Amino acid sequence: MRDEGCRMRGGVARGALKAGRRRGRRGGGMTEVKVAVLGGSGAGKSALAVRFLTRRFIGEYASSAECIYTKHLCLDGRQIHLEIYDPCSQPQQGKLSLTDELHWADGFIIVYDISDRASFAFAKALLYRIRESHAGVWKKMAEPSIFLVGNKQDLCHMREVGWDEGQKLAIDNKCQFCELSAAEHYQEVVAMFTKVLRNITSNFKVKEKRRPSGSKSMAKLINNMFGKRRKSV
Ligand SMILES: Nc1nc2c(ncn2[C@@H]2O[C@H](COP(=O)(O)OP(=O)(O)OP(=O)(O)O)[C@@H](O)[C@H]2O)c(=O)[nH]1
């Protein structure tokens, strides 16, 4: 994967989520990929996104503003315009709406902190909400790509959530799983994001194959309308 720089758009994220529902192709042969990083407060959402984008772990991150980071990169010869949505502090109680996120994102990274059981319960609720929506309103849309991440593996001496619990939750929800530390495992963070991007772009390829191109479908329509008539004359 080749890195071609990144940019951050803060404050306007909610509006951008509502506006940016176009999927897949972007001008200039770019593929547009949108990933939402979700999880309980303090699970390490910003740390993961910033680590991937800048290689740095800076320790403290503003949690009062949601933002969308953008990055251009080249993956498997494909130019990608990546947008990463990082919400501000997500309350671990209350009703989960996620409507905008579900509509906006092509894929989700659900983060919990292995030293905080409440964050694991919240990750479970998020997965349930995504699955539930997909089975309902959005069932005609492509299966979203989901990666469950147990963060803060460097704090395993304070572990409250077992590796096997994370693995089981991922299997039950048909998603990928890993444990890592945004603080200490840069390569693992990159590998995880790369898997998410590969998964999403291969979903796009399946969709492209299934859907006939504009000109082909127009030809089919014309054929259906006039071809049959010609036969009967
Ligand atoms: N030890 C350790 N601390 C981490 C790791 N990742 C994040 N942190 C710390 O956990 C705290 C919360 O990290 P954030 O990235 O702000 O978490 P967040 O989920 O974006 O938090 P909110 O925006 O408040 O919801 C910060 O103090 C980070 O330094 C990690 O891998 N290991």
pLDDT of residue 217: 53
Q: In this predicted structure, what is the pLDDT of residue 132?
A: 84
Position 231 scores a pLDDT of 41
For residue 11, pLDDT beyond 80: no
For ligand 1, atom 29, the nearest C-alpha belongs to 59
CA of 90 to the centre of ligand 1 (A): 13
Could you read off the pLDDT of 33-60 as tens digits, one per residue? 999 999 999 999 999 999 999 999 988 8
Interface confidence, given as ipTM, is 0.98
Tell me the HSE value of 119 on the side-chain side, using a 13 A CA sphere.
26
SS3 content of the chain, % helix, strand, coil (to 5): 45, 25, 30
Would you say 79 and 30 are in contact if contact means Cβ atoms under 8 Å apart? Answer: yes
Nearest CA among 169, 187, 194, 51 for reference residue 110: 169
pTM of the model: 0.82
Residue 47 Cα, ligand 1 centroid: separation in angstroms?
6
